[in-house]
Amino acid sequence: MNLKDDLLAEIQKTFAEQWEEQSTASIPSAEELRLNANHAKNLDYATVLYADLNGSTSMVNSYKWWFSAEIYKAYLRCAGAIIKSEDGIITAYDGDRIMAIFTGKYKNTQAVKAALKINYSVHKIIRPAIKAQYPDITFLLNHTIGIDTSELRAARIGVKGDNDLVWIGRAANFAAKLTTRTGSSVWITKAVYEKINNEAKFANDINMWEPKLWETMDNFEIYCSNYTWRID
């Protein structure tokens, strides 16, 4: 058969085949899922965090390539280390963004703490380091983080020798879409806000979160913050 016939047969099989779903308490690896089958892992409820640099296109067009590379490395190094310190599992690095999944009893609080700590790293670690190394450069690092929680499943997609996991569930989509919002550095859904501990809601008895309506998503209720969480 030619490539068209091969693809048609595979796609027909995908739509016709029943799904086999297995429950899991941990983040699965690609090897735990079959590639050429409708096979999924069910994480039940999980919390997804996306952290994304803002203005990357302008940066790579306006500065030397090595400066952009240093910014990528600095931001993703801080974000990755902070996520792991809060027991998050990094599932993807995608250019200038990072995706992580949190599970367990305190998954929402841990994800929110990670986000506020990443915001701290931008303000108190990365920006001062840029200014110290390049005092004449006017570049200002900005970023946005989105977090949502929902039922979440994983499936393996791609072709033999070149494949990865895809995450199916609202949290994966909404967390990514929240990074496109402006005005605040951290955005969470109402579902996350309602589940986080008070330590992640209040600073000196002041609520760190401002309620908003997500106009382009049928006025879905979300919360935003520019607060930081000190890293010791």
Predicted confidence at residue 56, as pLDDT, reads: 87
Distances (CA, A) of 218 to 154, 169, 176, 215, 221: 27, 18, 17, 6, 9
Predicted confidence at residue 190, as pLDDT, reads: 98
Specify the long-range contacts of residues 75-83, CB closer than 8 Å, at least 24 apart.
75/51, 75/122, 75/126, 75/141, 75/143, 78/118, 78/121, 78/122, 78/125, 78/126, 79/51, 79/118, 79/121, 82/114, 82/117, 82/118, 82/121, 82/231, 83/49, 83/114, 83/118
CA distance 95 to 34: 27
Instruction: Please give the chain's pLDDT, 232 residues, in tens.
Output: 699 999 999 999 999 999 999 999 899 999 999 999 999 999 999 999 999 999 888 899 999 999 999 999 999 999 999 999 999 999 999 889 999 999 999 999 999 999 999 999 999 999 999 999 999 999 999 999 999 999 999 999 999 889 999 999 999 999 999 999 999 999 999 999 999 999 999 999 999 999 999 999 999 999 999 999 999 8
The SS3 of residue 75 is helix
What is the pTM assigned to this prediction? 0.95
Predicted confidence at residue 179, as pLDDT, reads: 97
CA distance 111 to 39: 28
